[in-house]
Structure 1
Amino acid sequence: MSIIIPVFNGHNFILNCLRSIENQDNEEVEVIVVNDGSTDDTKNIVENATFENITLKMINQSNKGVSSARNTGIREARGKYLLFLDADDTLIPNILFETKKILVQHNPDLILGKTSSASQSSLTNDKTKRIDMNIAVEKVLNGETGGYLGCKIFKRNISKEVMFDKNINICEDLYFTLLFLLRSNKIFWFKEPLYNYTQRVDSISHSFSNLIDENNNWKYVTVISKIQEKFHKYPVAEKYIYRTLISYEIDGIITLLSHPDNYLTLKKLRYQLRKEIPKIFLKQNISFFQSIVAVSLAFVPIAILRKIKQKIKD
């Protein structure tokens, strides 16, 4: 297995990440650290550290972003399977040994593990279960595994075909995961977390409601729309994606009602939602209440919506 770790200015936590890999019950792995233009001591710390059971390779490149760094790691990797970690994440003890059993026995294209915050799955009492495309998409979009890369194991030959889109700097992990699913035949659900996820104060938030930057709001909806286009051949999966798209459009409009500086993005989101209205009532997994909210947010004047929101807050 190859573990790919993109890092930018990670001198405070990169060693903890690497030690968590080193302590994986003598499981030999290839670790590729892609130093994406760090300006701190990250490079020296990694180069001067010594490890057992790790074949460590460090690649230094100018700052090109996390997608480019991950693509660099994919091109350099030699393992049959890939696991992506952020530099401030750590692996769960013994987890590589546990997942290796699945890799050897089933030769999957993709393993989906739980996020550490996901509730217990009701899918099966077994720890491991093969699932189909529709269930996999549902688990990605309902948060059980999410778009987070650290709780997934990808077959490398498929990753070389998919790669990360360097033009997407929001939800790039979700986009990659769902595109990977389209090329996967054998998908396994592993009902445990694979890693400890750390959300730093200075990292990009995964919560849409916190993304009040004009470009980020619009990019988020744009990415979900692109995903929707890719899944038109999978009606059940497409329903989950459509529900996510509508939810993010609604959340984005509600959020931006409190941010008058982002008026143009608010208008774009309302226009996008208006285009969806004819289809909303035909989708089985869009609730009636959500449909009414969507219609109101799409057509009620912004000034009135802002007054309503203020009254609710008060």
Structure 2
Amino acid sequence: MKKVSVIITTYNAEKTIARALHSVLRQEGMGRAFTVELIVIDDCSTDDTLEILEKFSLDIQQFYSTPANSGGPNKGRNIGLRYATGDYICFLDHDDLWLPHKIRLQLQAGEHVPIVTGSYSMTNTHTGIHTLAENLEMTRFFAPNETFLKKLSKEKMGVQNTYLGTVMIHKDLKHILFEEHFGMLDFDWTLRLFEQRASAEIAAHVATRFVDGHNLSLDVEYRKKDYYYSLMCLEGFEKRYPREVALARKRINGSRARYCYLQGNMPEARKYLRKAMPGVKETLYYITSFAGSQWVKRYFPVFG
């Protein structure tokens, strides 16, 4: 019987961790088709997270606590990877949940490729808006390097979903660890994971991601770290993939420009637009950065 290690990192998760754990424990086929090794790593929570985890002590096979708060989930994820003993490994954030068929369906595809993902929905807990990503009509298999090259070049069209909460990897890939300097970013982990490897995305919604009104993706410090970190990651691939890295740099600068535009920092927006991929949209953003930006931001999705 296959064993699946599930790595959950927690920090001040008293409001959501029980929901996340229940979604793992209610997986279809658990105990019959496969077993689950539940690994929880707490990053020095200061609320009642530990008390809630204690109630699940019979279900949690391995529990670890970081010696000091690391500022993000990556240190905990790496601890989980080092101690995972399953044939396959999955990740779940403390504020997300899985659909009951997640593991069962991904194990089927996992017989053929070492990396399996799926689609997910997003619920904004502040507005109540629920957005469902489009499912594939059938499981799609990606050739070695197919997903990697698109992720490296920051391509958006026809790209495999790689949201971490939907990812299942074979145990042979557990040596690929997350960066711990910033502690919360996973771009280079995704690149190292998919390089030269085949993968699959199943035709099913397997996870729900919860976000609140304070969207981390719009946070000033997060965006700054993400920008410089992404550019830094590209350096290790430039000699082997010069074309994709050149495209990525332009797209990363375009994303940075749109963020500055959205925030109303027009001098910075223009600076990054000059480094971005030239196009009609970029030209219009540049022109309206002098006048008309409020109208654009009201009627068009500038960033996201």
CA distance in 2, matches of 1:191, 1:239: 32
1:178 aligns with 2:191: yes
More relative contact order in 1 or in 2 (CA 8 Å, sep 6+)? 2
Retained in 2: the 8 A contact 1:115–1:145?
Answer: no
Retained in 2: the 8 A contact 1:111–1:154?
Answer: yes
Distance verdict in 2 for CA 1:129–1:311, change over 3 Å: closer
More helix by share: 1
How far 1:273 sits from its partner (Å)?
Answer: 4.6
Unaligned runs of 5+ in 2: 122-131, 299-304
How far 1:253 sits from its partner (Å)?
Answer: 2.8
Amino acid at match of 1:159: K
CA distance in 2, matches of 1:167, 1:71: 13
Amino acid at match of 2:164: L
Counterpart secondary structure, 1:226: helix
Retained in 2: the 8 A contact 1:138–1:240?
Answer: no
Counterpart secondary structure, 2:211: coil
1:112 paired residue among 108, 117, 140: 117
The superposition leaves residues 89-112 of structure 1 with CA deviations (integer Å, 9 ceiling, x where unpaired) of 111112211111222x32x22112
User: What TM-score results when the alignment is normalised by the length of structure 2?
Assistant: 0.76
Corresponding residue pairs, total: 275
1:82 paired residue among 80, 84, 89: 89
- 1:301 corresponds to: none
Distance verdict in 2 for CA 1:270–1:78, change over 3 Å: farther
Alignment of 1:44-83 (within 5 A): 44-49=51-56, 54=59, 56-61=61-66, 62-64=68-70, 65-83=72-90
How far 1:249 sits from its partner (Å)?
Answer: 2.4
Q: CA RMSD in A?
A: 3.1
Counterpart secondary structure, 1:197: strand
Amino acid at match of 1:205: L
- 2:216 corresponds to: 205
CA distance in 1, matches of 2:186, 2:162: 5
How far 1:141 sits from its partner (Å)?
Answer: 5.1
1:289 aligns with 2:280: yes
Counterpart secondary structure, 1:28: strand
Percent of residue pairs identical: 21
2:104 paired residue among 97, 104, 124: 97
More strand by share: 2
Distance verdict in 2 for CA 1:167–1:289, change over 3 Å: same
Distance verdict in 2 for CA 1:9–1:310, change over 3 Å: closer
My pick for the range that moved more, 33-42 or 220-229, is 220-229
Distance verdict in 2 for CA 1:119–1:153, change over 3 Å: same
Distance verdict in 2 for CA 1:20–1:66, change over 3 Å: same
Distance verdict in 2 for CA 1:194–1:243, change over 3 Å: farther
Counterpart secondary structure, 1:111: strand
- 2:228 corresponds to: 222
Amino acid at match of 2:25: E
- 2:146 corresponds to: 134
Distance verdict in 2 for CA 1:307–1:149, change over 3 Å: same
